[in-house]
Amino acid sequence: MEDRNKEYWIKNKLNSWLISQRNNPPSQGVADNSTMKSLSNRCTRLHKRTIINHEKMKIYFYSVVLFVLILAACDTKSTTSQKPNASGHTKFSKRKLVDLSHVFSDETIYWVTAKEFRLDTVYAGQTDKGFYYSANNFSTAEHGGTHIDAPIHFAKNGQTVDEIPLEKLIGSAIKIDVSSKAFTNPDYLISVEDFTDWEENTGILIPDGSIVILQTGFSKYYPDKIKYLGTDDRGENAVKQLHFPGLSSEAAEWLVENRNIHAIGIDTPSIDYGQSEYFKSHVILLSNNIPAFENLTNLDKLPLNGFEIIALPMKIEGGSGAPLRIIAVLTD
Ligand SMILES: [Zn+2]
């Protein structure tokens, strides 16, 4: 503002000089010319300073705008990555998570010859030091509830559960839905045609590296043993009474020979159907290092294509299988 006042003052002086030039005789011209030059020089210097100050103001203004934009971006980032959403869960990008695992409890369904889940309370209550404390022991067979079959389960040199590469357990997945045929037929065998129908309907071949999820609808019966297994008897004699759908050995063979899948999962107690005697689908898949996820649930919440699976079993050294936490990641 100070410079502007000076500028006005100089302009007024110049105006006064011009008026005096018009009114006064030429003899005063020399002295008046030098006055004009001096005033003109001061004016030019001031004008340059004003331009420089304007440039400084511009730089300052853009710096402030940039700083505000960076702050806004940081705030948006913290909102999406840290703040809980309305349901109290942390957002997983723009994706939806579906839990495909049953809980472990005294209702958990095991193979009829396997030891069932047990949870023993070690302590639950207030301590004499003033804090609350809870701890339990649990025991379980490898093959019960939602679990994984490691390749060694039916293949002598197959991978143990701790040796299965994570790349086999995490990745893009597809779903074959046979529930309209299998839900009312406990001896239904999933056929090669069920896979080729999926390929015809979607217009693509089962992509390399897929995790294939088989939906029979049977998880709706869980944990009713009579409906889900076909029997609530236990022991060797109960094996012949098992009735639930599974993958036919022909379809297992077709998958291994014609497609390149990473893993397979089903919403029944076994990848082979209940009436199987030789567990051929287990042998075919596990001999090819394709692990199987069994006793899955919530498969009706999955699309036929375009989702991902994350399946993380307990890392038991040398294990033939293990309890499994498995989820699907859906894009909104
Ligand atoms: Zn198993």
Q: Tell me: the pLDDT tens digits for 260-282?
A: 999 999 999 999 999 999 999 99
Cis (ω within 30 of 0) for the bond into 313?
A: no
Q: Kindly give the distance from the C-alpha atom of residue 58 to the centroid of ligand 1, in angstroms, as a whole number.
A: 70
First to last CA, the chain: 58
Q: Kindly give the distance from the C-alpha atom of residue 201 to the centroid of ligand 1, in angstroms, as a whole number.
A: 31
Residue ranges in the chain assigned as alpha helix (H): 2-23, 29-81, 166-169, 179-182, 192-202, 225-229, 249-258, 280-287
Q: Kindly give the distance from the C-alpha atom of residue 286 to the centroid of ligand 1, in angstroms, as a whole number.
A: 11
Q: Kindly give the distance from the C-alpha atom of residue 154 to the centroid of ligand 1, in angstroms, as a whole number.
A: 10
Q: Kindly give the distance from the C-alpha atom of residue 126 to the centroid of ligand 1, in angstroms, as a whole number.
A: 39
166-188 residue pLDDT tens:
999 999 999 999 999 998 899 99
Q: Kindly give the distance from the C-alpha atom of residue 197 to the centroid of ligand 1, in angstroms, as a whole number.
A: 27
Question: Does the global pTM surpass 0.85?
Answer: no
Say what the pLDDT of residue 95 is. Answer: 86
Q: Kindly give the distance from the C-alpha atom of residue 202 to the centroid of ligand 1, in angstroms, as a whole number.
A: 30
Give the start-end residues of each E strand in 235-306: 246-247, 263-266, 292-294
Q: Kindly give the distance from the C-alpha atom of residue 284 to the centroid of ligand 1, in angstroms, as a whole number.
A: 14
Q: Kindly give the distance from the C-alpha atom of residue 119 to the centroid of ligand 1, in angstroms, as a whole number.
A: 21
Q: Kindly give the distance from the C-alpha atom of residue 195 to the centroid of ligand 1, in angstroms, as a whole number.
A: 23
Q: Kindly give the distance from the C-alpha atom of residue 295 to the centroid of ligand 1, in angstroms, as a whole number.
A: 9
Q: Kindly give the distance from the C-alpha atom of residue 198 to the centroid of ligand 1, in angstroms, as a whole number.
A: 26
Q: Are 302 and 206 in contact (CB under 8 A)?
A: no
Say what the pLDDT of residue 183 is. Answer: 87
Distance CA 142, CA 318 (A): 11
Q: Kindly give the distance from the C-alpha atom of residue 219 to the centroid of ligand 1, in angstroms, as a whole number.
A: 16
Name the stretches of the chain with pLDDT < 70: 1-93, 332
Q: Are 169 and 308 in contact (CB under 8 A)?
A: no
Q: Are 219 and 298 in contact (CB under 8 A)?
A: yes
Q: Kindly give the distance from the C-alpha atom of residue 45 to the centroid of ligand 1, in angstroms, as a whole number.
A: 89
Say what the pLDDT of residue 148 is. Answer: 98
Provide the residues around ligand 1 (an ion) whose CB is within 5 A.
143, 149, 294, 321
Say what the pLDDT of residue 331 is. Answer: 84
Say what the pLDDT of residue 184 is. Answer: 87
Q: Kindly give the distance from the C-alpha atom of residue 321 to the centroid of ligand 1, in angstroms, as a whole number.
A: 6
